[in-house]
């Protein structure tokens, strides 16, 4: 009998592979970082090499099996979770990308989105897709590739090109080009999928000038999809789960009922709340997106996205050079009692929800002669929690039912100072699970349920540990008011 499920967790800065056993415990991990490409002279552009994404992910998969001494026949199924919205277009005949992957953070299509908004189509777009017209999403990125790569649009019109988010690219290569698919959670992030009618939307394809022939088949997040047919000792392993990283984390936290919510603190921050089986349009500049479903019926979530979360700590390390490793930031932040009046708006790639300003600029305000690197570090950490508070307040206004608890995951949640500050800001308990790998666990759970490795979500919940609860201890209303003022000053700077 197979003893493990293998989760491939393809993220923005690294590709990871995780083995999960029947108790939900992590039996092995492997991780490989890959290159972040910032084209010279192109502010706001972010790219990845699609083949580097693929090779880093396959290397991690083989490595984790080797480290754990696990044979492919010991693996019941394989689940994939991935950075969402990142866009790849490739030649169906050769399998070669026609351009680098354009990353979700990339802002090159801001003017295209602004032009479409000026044409008055955004409300119709929201009613169809649950999304806003923003360069964050895949649709305008596809259109840009077709317009800017020589011969690409002509090839696409002839049906020779395929589009996919990263999950599609991985599955295509894992199955030797036999499967061109995506799941509903990833499809719902493209600006091209009608999440009310549950299909690719002809009007959106027309509006963004994307040929329908490029689109992958859309599958359920937990479903047998076929075996791996290629390479590296994974042959025959059943691909049985796919979910965009944030929906995967929502499922990994077992937020499967209306009202359940989680926030992931990764490169960005992503707050999702399950709202049930009925589409609801946000009135507070949030998104409506598809959640993972094991019942083969569309389920929905409200989502707020912060573009720069944990990445602000990477900037302190790589850009400012005031820490040598990300783990040092908590100690540096604790070297001062507070931020000394410094506020840090990390709008390096514009502002996401609920502001949606692609022209906002990173801003540090309140600096004085007494400001130290400790104050900067503390303000950077606090910015992560302050941005999350923006999302939570908008979500509470949408639902009319204030959240009673926030479940959290992602690398930055290991920082106790940040988690306590978050609980204080929100005024509700913050629950950190025993295992922080909820994104990978979500993909593993989806893949395991599809093949009977686990029988139900109830069984999964029984094997999860207790975790840590952070309860509110202080009032930061005055600080939050100043934060809102700082955000307003950062807006529109690059317009």
Domain boundaries, the chain: 4-246, 254-432+465-495
pLDDT score at 231: 64
Spatial neighbors of 2 by CB under 8 A, at least 6 apart, are 73, 74, 75, 76, 77, 453
Spatial neighbors of 422 by CB under 8 A, at least 6 apart, are 385, 388, 389, 406, 408, 430, 470
Two tokens, residue 451: 């093949």
Cα separation, 30 vs 23, whole angstroms? 20
Two tokens, residue 27: 């039996």
The annotation status of 221 as a binding-site residue, yes or no, is: no
Phi/psi for 162 (5° steps) reads -120, 140
The annotation status of 16 as a binding-site residue, yes or no, is: yes
Cα separation, 350 vs 494, whole angstroms? 9
The annotation status of 85 as a binding-site residue, yes or no, is: yes
Helix (H) or strand (E) holding 437: none
Structure pTM? 0.87
The annotation status of 84 as a binding-site residue, yes or no, is: yes
**Burial degree of 467 (CB within 10 A; 0-12, 13-18, 19+):** middle
Please measure the distance between the N-terminal and C-terminal CA atoms of the chain and give it in whole angstroms.
59
Strands 47-48 and 101-102: antiparallel
- Among residues 423, 46, 104, the alpha carbon closest in space to that of 263 is found at 423
Helix (H) or strand (E) holding 94: none
Two tokens, residue 212: 């329908």
Cα separation, 9 vs 167, whole angstroms? 10
Other C-beta atoms lying within 10 Å of the C-beta of residue 348: 16
Cα separation, 430 vs 417, whole angstroms? 12
Cα separation, 136 vs 190, whole angstroms? 9
The annotation status of 14 as a binding-site residue, yes or no, is: yes
Domain 254-432+465-495, classified CATH 3.90.1150.10, yes or no: no
pLDDT score at 232: 64
* Helix-then-strand count for the chain, H and E: 16, 23
- Among residues 363, 320, 359, the alpha carbon closest in space to that of 342 is found at 363
- What CATH number is given for 4-246 in this structure? 3.30.420.40
CA atoms lying within 13 Å on the CB side of residue 88: 30
**Total residue count of the chain as it appears in this document:** 495
The pLDDT averaged over each successive group of 10 residues in the chain (495 residues) is 91 93 91 92 92 95 90 91 96 96 92 93 94 92 97 96 97 94 97 96 96 97 90 82 95 90 88 91 90 92 90 90 87 91 93 88 94 94 94 89 88 88 94 88 96 89 82 93 95 88
- Among residues 249, 284, 234, 275, the alpha carbon closest in space to that of 391 is found at 284
Two tokens, residue 235: 């042959």
Spatial neighbors of 323 by CB under 8 A, at least 6 apart, are 313, 316, 317, 329, 332, 377
The annotation status of 71 as a binding-site residue, yes or no, is: no
Q: Is the dihedral of CA 400, 402, 407, 412 positive or negative?
A: positive
Phi/psi for 78 (5° steps) reads -125, 130
| Cβ atoms of residues 305 and 287 within 8 Å | yes
The annotation status of 91 as a binding-site residue, yes or no, is: no
The annotation status of 468 as a binding-site residue, yes or no, is: no
Q: Among the residues of 130-165, which ranges form H helices?
A: 138-148, 152-157
Q: Give residue 49's region: left, alpha or beta (phi > 0; psi -120 to 50).
A: beta
CA atoms lying within 13 Å on the CB side of residue 160: 14
- Among residues 162, 222, 163, 226, the alpha carbon closest in space to that of 189 is found at 163
Same fold, 4-246 and 254-432+465-495: yes
The annotation status of 411 as a binding-site residue, yes or no, is: yes
Query: Measured at the alpha carbon of residue 383, what is the angle toward residues 185 and 325, in degrees to the nearest 5?
Result: 90
Tell me if residue 379 falls in helix, strand or coil: helix
| Cβ atoms of residues 236 and 227 within 8 Å | yes
The annotation status of 349 as a binding-site residue, yes or no, is: no
Other C-beta atoms lying within 10 Å of the C-beta of residue 474: 10
pLDDT score at 113: 94
pLDDT score at 463: 75
The annotation status of 310 as a binding-site residue, yes or no, is: yes
Q: Is the dihedral of CA 84, 89, 94, 99 positive or negative?
A: negative
CA atoms lying within 13 Å on the CB side of residue 376: 18
The annotation status of 226 as a binding-site residue, yes or no, is: no
**In the block, residue with structure tokens 């699609």:** 50
């Amino acid at each position: 009998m197979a003893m493990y499920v293998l989760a491939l967790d393809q993220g923005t800065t690294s590709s990871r592979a995780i083995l999960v056993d029947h108790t939900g415990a992590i039996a092995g991990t492997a991780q490989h970082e890959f290159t972040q490409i910032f084209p010279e002279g192109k502010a706001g552009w972010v790219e990845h090499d699609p083949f580097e994404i693929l090779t880093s992910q396959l290397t991690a998969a083989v490595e984790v099996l080797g480290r754990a001494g696990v044979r492919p026949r010991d693996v019941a199924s394989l689940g994939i979770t991935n950075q969402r919205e990142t866009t790849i277009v490739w030649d169906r005949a050769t399998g070669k990308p026609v351009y680098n992957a354009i990353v979700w953070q990339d802002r090159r299509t801001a003017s295209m989105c602004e032009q479409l908004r000026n044409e008055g189509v955004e409300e119709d777009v929201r009613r169809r897709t649950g999304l806003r017209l923003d360069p964050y999403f895949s649709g305008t990125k596809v259109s840009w590739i077709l317009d800017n790569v020589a011969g690409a649009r002509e090839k696409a019109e002839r049906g020779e090109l395929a589009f996919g988010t990263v999950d599609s690219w991985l599955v295509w290569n894992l199955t030797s080009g036999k499967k061109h698919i995506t799941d509903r959670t990833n499809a719902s992030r493209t600006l091209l999928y009608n999440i009310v009618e549950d299909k690719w939307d002809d009007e959106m394809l027309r509006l963004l000038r994307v040929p329908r022939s490029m689109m992958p088949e859309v599958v359920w997040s937990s479903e047998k999809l076929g075996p791996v047919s290629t390479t590296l000792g994974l042959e025959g392993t059943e691909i049985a789960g796919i979910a965009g990283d944030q929906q995967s984390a929502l499922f990994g936290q077992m937020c499967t009922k209306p009202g359940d919510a989680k926030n992931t603190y990764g490169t960005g921050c992503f707050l999702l709340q399950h709202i049930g089986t009925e589409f609801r349009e946000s009135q507070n500049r949030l998104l409506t997106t598809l959640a993972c479903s094991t019942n083969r019926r569309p389920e929905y979530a409200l989502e707020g996205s912060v573009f720069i979360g944990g990445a602000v700590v990477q900037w302190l390390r790589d850009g400012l050079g005031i820490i040598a490793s990300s783990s040092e930031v908590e100690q540096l932040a604790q070297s001062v009692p507070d931020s000394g009046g410094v506020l840090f708006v990390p709008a390096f790639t514009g502002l996401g929800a609920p502001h949606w300003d692609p022209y906002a600029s990173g801003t540090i305000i309140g600096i004085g002669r007494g400001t130290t690197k400790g104050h900067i570090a503390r303000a950077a950490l606090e910015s992560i929690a302050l941005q999350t508070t923006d999302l939570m307040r908008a979500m509470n206004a949408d639902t009319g039912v204030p959240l009673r608890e926030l479940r959290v995951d992602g690398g930055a949640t290991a920082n106790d100072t940040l988690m306590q500050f978050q609980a204080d800001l929100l005024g509700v308990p913050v629950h950190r699970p025993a295992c922080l790998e909820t994104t990978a666990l979500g993909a593993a759970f989806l893949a395991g349920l599809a093949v009977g490795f686990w029988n139900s979500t109830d069984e999964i919940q029984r094997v999860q540990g207790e975790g840590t609860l952070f309860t509110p201890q202080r009032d930061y209303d005055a600080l939050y008011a100043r934060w809102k003022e700082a955000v307003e000053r950062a807006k529109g700077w690059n317009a």
